[in-house]
Amino acid sequence: MNNKTETSKNMIRSLVAVLLIFIAVYFVLRALFITYAQYGRIEKVLGVLFFLSEAYVMFHAFGYFMGIYRLNKKGLAEPETTVLKEYPHVSILIPARHEPKEILESTVTSCYNLDYPAKAIYILDDSSEQEYKDQARAIAKKFNCKLFRREERHGAKAGVINDCLKNIDSKYIAIFDVDQNPISGFLTKTVSMLESDSKLAFIQTPQYYSNLHTSRVARAANMQQAAFYETVCEAKSASDAMMCCGTNVVLRKEALDDVGGLDESTVTEDFATSLQFHLKGWKSLYYNHIGTFGQGPENLGVYLSQQNRWANGNVAVLKKVILKLLKNPLALRPVQWWEYFITGSYYLIGWAFLFLMFCPIAYIFFDIPSFFMHPAVYAMAFVPYFILSLTIFYISMKGRNYNTKDIFKGQMLFLISLPTYLAGSLAGLLGFKKGFKITAKKCSQHIPYRALWPQLFIWGLNLSAITWGVNRFVYDRSPAVLFNMAWILYHFVLLSSVFYFNEEILEKSKIRSSR
């Protein structure tokens, strides 16, 4: 490791350590102010909810930055590999349902061209419409690969994989979503890692969207994926807590048999099955090299339905994690429980942000305080944390060649996803298993704004609050009004991106209609 890299790692570790101190100081001060605040009941209830929301966001920030700290402390060792003298058989599964022909054919082409000699490709076609069935059959014939169909559908993707696995005897199973295309060396590398450690249940590799230049949504979604796959996954892998992500993954058949196949009880079967693996003592590994190129969601509708499914599934698995922890806390190591809890609870962050956005608006409109801290103390305690956390985040992502504009777009997309997180997580908490909705690969489509009413409602509320707040500031030039207005403006700017991500489609429509 050269000196420059070592200096950079030391700097990041120092910044994270300072940040963690800022978080601790801020919380102690907030707790003190809330405890001794002389406000009415409604204000106190709102204040506690606001504090808990902040605590929740900072809890997740703490988890993220601790991961960065651990990675910069000991680094991520290159996985052990074995030079393959023999090639264990790999069955490649491509689950598909009503997929456009060109998408399916690209994936089969990529799998066909994997430079691994002992493989069999299975198209798991769950289509019910004849046109798609015929296309899948034609592709299977063209590439001489196997076509698997079943009589009764159950369990969506997990179900079709489990049904297919009953007929498979391979040592390893590779799974690719229908829009994920592996490059030729994918299997040689991943299998060599699996061969070097017989306790490894799976090797997970990142997702990367290759349609970044054709869709604003895909580009911003890729940025969100990058934050997850670059830092979060590396940290999880270093703690042997990496979760399966359902695609671009190679699993050991023995491990799958040991846990009874993929878990069909939630819509995030990959995450749920990972828990089963770890509970049974299997290990997991994340190999942070892009070996597969995929298609990101091309419009807001597709993206938000994907996020809804993930929110639903992750929270459903969180319930399982908590139950298992209470029943047998020694089943996993503390850091593994921590990583599962962090991931399972992530989408509940929508609830936290609901209060974080609502409370400043309540102050501006109704003069209901929820933040019992002198503005000067707030400025000294919170602002450094906020600036430092953003700085570390941007430095760590820029260190991996992502640019500032794209990182910011990822943040914008996150904020407009919050209503979706709310809905999805609520469904997950209540046990409503949302049906698996396939991500469409059609050309970008304009989403009617009525479908985005939650985002527009919050945006409109923020706009009204800004208008009222400007009016109020003329007569009440207090720092409290200023700070609340700053937050409302920040949320408003980020929420306005709903037009940026949706209007791209309208521009294309105008060009077509003007010809």
Partner 1 sequence: MLKKEELISSLQEALRTEEAAIPLYTKFVGSTLFLSGFSEENISRIERILHELNKDSCQHAAKFERLISQIENGDKDAY
* Residues engaged in binding partner 1 (CB under 8 A): 106, 109-110, 112-113, 142-143, 181, 183-184, 208-213, 290, 293, 400-403
The minimum distance between CB 49 and partner 1, in angstroms, equals 41
The minimum distance between CB 290 and partner 1, in angstroms, equals 7
The minimum distance between CB 397 and partner 1, in angstroms, equals 11
Strands 292-293 and 181-182: antiparallel
Return the number of the residue (214 or 496) whose C-beta is nearest partner 1: 214
The minimum distance between CB 210 and partner 1, in angstroms, equals 4
Return the number of the residue (166 or 213) whose C-beta is nearest partner 1: 213
The minimum distance between CB 144 and partner 1, in angstroms, equals 9
The minimum distance between CB 181 and partner 1, in angstroms, equals 6
Return the number of the residue (5 or 265) whose C-beta is nearest partner 1: 5
How far the first Cα of the chain sits from its last, in Å, is 58
For 449, residues 6+ apart whose C-beta sits below 8 A from its C-beta are: 456, 502
For residue 210, the 8-state DSSP code is S
Return the number of the residue (293 or 414) whose C-beta is nearest partner 1: 293
For 78, residues 6+ apart whose C-beta sits below 8 A from its C-beta are: none
In single-letter form, the type of residue at position 133 comes to: K
The two tokens of residue 57 are 């966001």
Closest by CA to 87, choosing from 196, 199, 200, 188, is 188
Polymer length in residues for the chain: 515
The minimum distance between CB 190 and partner 1, in angstroms, equals 17
Return the number of the residue (163 or 298) whose C-beta is nearest partner 1: 298
Helix 300-327 to helix 497-514 angle, to the nearest 10 degrees? 150
Return the number of the residue (293 or 483) whose C-beta is nearest partner 1: 293
Count Cα atoms within 13 angstroms, Cβ side, for 457. Answer: 9
Report how far residue 131's alpha carbon sits from residue 501's, in angstroms, rounded to the nearest whole number. Answer: 32
Q: Is 287 helix (H, G, I), strand (E, B) or coil?
A: coil
Return the number of the residue (248 or 274) whose C-beta is nearest partner 1: 248
Q: Taking a C-beta distance cutoff of 8 angstroms, is the pair 276, 251 a contact?
A: no
